[in-house]
Chain A
Amino acid sequence: GLLLAALLVSHMLLTKEGVTSMPICPSGSVNCQLSLEELFDRAVKLSHYIHYLSSEMFNEFDERYAQGRGFIAKAVNSCHTASLTTPEDKEQAQQIHHEDLLNLILGVLRSWNDPLVHLASEVQRIKEAPETILWKAVEIEEQNKRLLEGMEKIVGRVHSGEVENEIYTPWDGLPSLQLADEDSRLFAFYNLLHCLRRDSHKIDNYLKVLKCRLIHDNNC
């Protein structure tokens, strides 16, 4: 009994992706504030976790449903966030102003709020969907919300002046997830998961660049 408990605890500790609940403020302090470094650390951890989950989910879906259907060839479709002009290489990422980049990150996160909710609900309707995919969809949606909150905090700290228009792209892909034709429906899922993996990677990269730039002065 004791050995089993020890094994369970150690397994939980080992498989944790580093997303642990950290105390926000030292106990007892009234006006406590997290440092920017702390905020960025947490944001980077969250973004890495979300990217890891979405990457795994895509791989599982690909293995389970996409084999032999030729989805890869068609996966040149654009994502709904393509209208947002985000840096496409390192030069562009270095040149963009950090406030703009932060706003872009926020915009992408907001744009993914809606699709993630629907993804979590619609993926359950897939025939014989594995439990791991279902669980990951729910987890990603949750973590995305947390990252959004964190980013808004960071933006509130970093932002110097006026508030820009909110950046946001609506998502209209829900009907495609509910198509009657199974092939088309699965392709819609494949596309969505592919886009999710890509965008989560973007956000993760941008945040790391910003962290190195703002906190460590380009010397990570």
Chain B
Amino acid sequence: DLLQWPQISKCRSPEMETFSCFWTAGNLYNLTVPRILQLLYKKSNEEDWKECPDYITSGQNSCYFNASYTSVWTPYCVQLASKNEVYDKKCFSVDEIVLPDPPIHLNWTLLNTSQTGIHGDIQVRWDPPPTADVRKGWITLEYELQYKEVNETKWKELKPRLSTMVPLYSLKTARDYEIRIRSRQRTSEKFGEFSEILYVSFSQIGIGCDHCTEEVEFPWFLVVVFGVCGLAVTVISIMLSKQPRLKMLIFPPVPVPKIKGIDPDLLKKGKLDEVNSILACHDNYKTQLYIDDLWVEFIELDIEDPHEKNRASDTDRLLSEDHLKSHSSLGAKDDDSGRASCCEPDIPETDFSASDTCDATSDSDQFKKATEKEEDLLCLDRQDNDESLSSLANIDLQHQHRSTQSENSHLWAPFGESIESPHPSVRTQISNQNSLASTDFYAQVSDITPAGRVVLSPGQKSKLGRAQREGCTEQNFAMDNTYFCEADVKKCIAVTSHEENEPRVQEQGYNEDGYFTTESLTTTVANLGASTAAPPSSEMPVADYTSIHIVQSPQGLVLNATALPVPDKEFNVSCGYVSTDQLNKIMP
């Protein structure tokens, strides 16, 4: 056995009027007489140690100091000794060792019950410990109440309070409860002993609801599980749903890189020249309005010095970039039509500065897509030729130019008129064209050199030659997306020298759709004596000239398929566009 010295276990004052000290004897000696151990005490202002006045009142191994021996705020020292040996010593003051007795007379009363009778509220009352003189204010106590259900192990605590009554809410009437209370001095930390347990049983007062249904606790677990499942189902259904709006709302799409105005599919699948044109021109797009205005501007410029400029052929202009830039009028015209034709019309940016690329490609594009201005440009050579060759007066020139460059329909009328009158000019034009000296004609631009030069499609000269010599049997004519000016056709027709001369001089009314008036068309045809037979059949390009059925701006034209190869007809395909009506009249 371990050796245990006698020691003072605690000193305690229940009411701040008396106090007691307790000790343990230990197993040091085989003590038969308990009085051998002595407790000596001393107040701070005294010199001698005195012996305990009362060994009995507080029980065995205790010393009781009654009120006469107790001074509250005076420091005491006590020591446990026997004869000459001091085993333990403690110093304290009475106000520090206050531990009140437990409260007494615990009882409870019913306040009310719930409507269902499952729960009830009670009020618990008690009296302060009898020893504590609370009434005179000598000691101030606070109480702590603890309660639990009978078969529970853990006590629930309420906050310490000064009052001697406390309500307990929402107790289950079907269960029994236990209540206990303890007290402490208000400024202390330690509590005294617990009171006796108070039993609360609702059935005793006839309210207990033994057959009441158990209150179902809130099924938190189920709620969480179902909530998670529902959320997952919702998310999955949104992800799989076909509704793009909902999907976009909850799962917004990650923006992919995109170049404005360019369809990524086109980049993947489109033809090279289409892609080239789009890429080159997509920021040079002008609206139709702008084009119109620009035409007007350039009209003026042209008029100002009509003879000064060296009227190089269009081809030369195309091939030399200097000319392109210097001749702003033409260049601009090229730009306009080119842009209009090659670029996506929905691009709002308009760039008046012409790029060589655009000009060049625009030429190729204008062969593909039909706009109003194309035929103007395409057949501008003719007017130029007229201008250069003929001895037309400036007025006529102006007429021509204006008619060429301004709005389509109504301008052609005066032109047509003017054309009609100068027959000789036409003839000279034809002859001039036949000479091929500096013949302006239009060919397909097949490529653009990095330097900005335009490479026309192969067989350009040979075209000319063939057109002249070999007739119009060349398959070049049948090249796709190739447009030939009326001049070429005339040449072709002239070369073949078809005898058939069906001067279908049909005085067709001026057709607003058509870019050439009927008169002009038919007169040239008549002059040329173009036959209807040969050229259309083999030489006439199958896919080249058709009437425009629908103009779909960004994508191009929907050509009237039925207008395509009409072998037997005088398909006097000009570089311009023939209206459907005209075409129908021409063809069977």
Binding site for B on A (CB under 8 A): 48, 51-52, 55, 72-73, 75-76, 78, 86, 88-91, 93-94, 198, 201-202, 204-205, 208-213, 218-220
Contact = CB atoms under 8 A, between A and B. Distances in A.
B137 A89 contact: no
Contacts of B75: 75-76
B543 interface: no
Given A75-B75, A89-B17, A219 B187 contact: no
Given A75-B91, A201-B95, A209-B136, 11 more contacts: A52-B187, A76-B77, A78-B45, A90-B133, A198-B73, A205-B137, A209-B138, A212-B136, A219-B135, A220-B134, A220-B136
B93 interface: yes
B268 to A, nearest CB: 52
A202 B136 contact: no
A191 to B, nearest CB: 11
Contacts of B91: 72-73, 75-76
A209 B137 contact: yes
Contacts of B113: none
Contacts of B16: 90
Contacts of B93: 198
B512 to A, nearest CB: 72
Contacts of A73: 91
A86 B406 CA distance: 122
Contact of B135 (A198, A202, A211, A212): A212
B44 interface: yes
A88 B72 CA distance: 5
Given A78-B44, A78-B45, A89 B187 contact: no
B71 interface: yes
B114 interface: no
A210 B137 CA distance: 8
Specify which of B17, B70, B137 lies most central, judged by the most chain A CB atoms within 10 Å of its CB. B137
Which 10 pairs from chain A and chain B are nearest by CB?
A212-B137, A208-B137, A88-B71, A76-B44, A209-B137, A76-B75, A90-B138, A220-B137, A218-B136, A201-B95
20 contacts: A48-B186, A55-B187, A73-B91, A88-B74, A89-B17, A89-B67, A90-B133, A90-B138, A91-B67, A198-B93, A198-B95, A202-B73, A205-B137, A205-B138, A209-B136, A209-B138, A210-B137, A219-B135, A220-B134, A220-B137
Contacts, number: 64
Interface of B: 16-17, 44-45, 67, 70-75, 77, 91, 93, 95, 133-138, 140, 186-187
Task: Find the residue from B16, B74, B187 having the highest chain A CB count within 10 A.
Answer: B187
B136 A88 contact: no
A73 B67 CA distance: 25
A213 B44 contact: no
A72 B17 CA distance: 23
Contacts of B17: 89-90
Contact of A48 (B73, B133, B187): B187
A88 B17 CA distance: 10
Contacts of A205: 137-138
A218 B137 CA distance: 8
B465 to A, nearest CB: 88
Q: Is the interface of A mostly helix, strand, loop or mixed?
A: helix
Contacts of B72: 88-89
B186 A213 contact: no
Nearest to A211: B137
A94 B133 CA distance: 12
Contacts of B73: 86, 88, 198, 201-202
A89 B45 contact: no
B77 to A, nearest CB: 7
Contacts of A88: 71-74
Contacts of A86: 73
A55 B136 CA distance: 24
Contacts of A89: 17, 67, 70-72
A147 to B, nearest CB: 16
A122 to B, nearest CB: 24
A205 B72 CA distance: 11
A5 B91 CA distance: 48
A209 B77 CA distance: 28
Contacts of B70: 89
B164 to A, nearest CB: 12
A72 B133 CA distance: 30
A212 B139 CA distance: 11
Contacts of B133: 90
Nearest to A91: B67
A69 B135 CA distance: 41
Nearest to A198: B73
Contacts of B187: 48, 51-52, 55, 201, 204
A215 to B, nearest CB: 10
A201 B138 CA distance: 11
Contacts of A201: 73, 95, 187
Contacts of B136: 90, 94, 209, 212-213, 218, 220
A76 B41 CA distance: 13
A211 B454 CA distance: 115
B48 to A, nearest CB: 15
Contacts of B135: 212, 218-220
A91 B66 CA distance: 13
A93 B44 contact: no
Nearest to A78: B44
A26 to B, nearest CB: 27
Contacts of B186: 48
A198 B96 CA distance: 9
Nearest to A72: B91
A202 B138 CA distance: 11
Nearest to B185: A201
Contacts of B134: 220
A94 B17 CA distance: 13
A203 to B, nearest CB: 11
Contact of A213 (B71, B74, B95, B137): B137
A202 to B, nearest CB: 6
Nearest to B69: A89
A208 B140 contact: yes
A55 B189 CA distance: 10
Nearest to B187: A51
Contacts of B77: 76
A202 B71 CA distance: 12
A86 B67 CA distance: 17
A139 to B, nearest CB: 16
A169 B72 CA distance: 21
A202 B95 CA distance: 9
A55 B188 CA distance: 9
